[in-house]
Amino acid sequence: MKLAQLTSPDLILIDAVFDDRLSAIHALTDKLDLHGKLTNKQEFLEAVLTREEEGPTALGEYLAVPHGKSEAVKAPVFACAFVKEELMWTGLDGDEPVKMIFLLAIPPAEAGSTHMEVLTTLTSLLVEDDFREQLLAASSTQEVMSLFDGNEDSKNYEQSKKEIDVQVEIAKDTSRYAYPAVLGIGVLISVFLFMLL
């Protein structure tokens, strides 16, 4: 699943500033409502806050994923914020610093499948240091969307490119030593043949 399929530039906040996690949840809920993703903002907000009381939603790697399953959600979607300064969020081992907040909005009918797929995609991507650093360094919503739109093909291409670059370097190193050796052997053979004449 590509994350870009479930969000849009209008639902992404860069260099966001929040007083606390509740203000972050309210701001992202407002974004979803403003862009027509909810039929009832208050109903969805209550679902998110109820879920927050049930257990921690900070998952490590500076990531928090508050979420709500509600009939007020038209289709699976998320809004996200990249905060300017670390925000403390409830995690498994107490409060932990968060820099990325993804608010997932899921209709009950897709609570199992889509919800788990998005969570799995998010966590597997954000475990990768390169991806996380690129995301945190993004200076525009377009950059973020471009990263969200990345797929395995582009990763495989980059990996293949790196492997080819390494092979080229090895070939250069080999030729640096092989050429003089072959040339030296050629000269010796020529001298030997010349002496036979």
In this predicted structure, the answer to whether residue 46 has a pLDDT above a threshold of 70 is yes
Decide the pairing of beta strands 58-60 and 63-64.
Answer: antiparallel
Query: For residue range 113-122, what is the model confidence (pLDDT) as tens digits?
Result: 777 888 888 8
What pLDDT, on the 0 to 100 scale, is given for residue 119? 80
Q: Which amino acid is at 165?
A: D
Q: What is the spatial distance between Cα 183 and Cα 189, in angstroms, rounded to a whole number?
A: 10
Return the number of other C-beta atoms located less than 10 Å from residue 49's C-beta.
Answer: 15
What pLDDT, on the 0 to 100 scale, is given for residue 114? 74
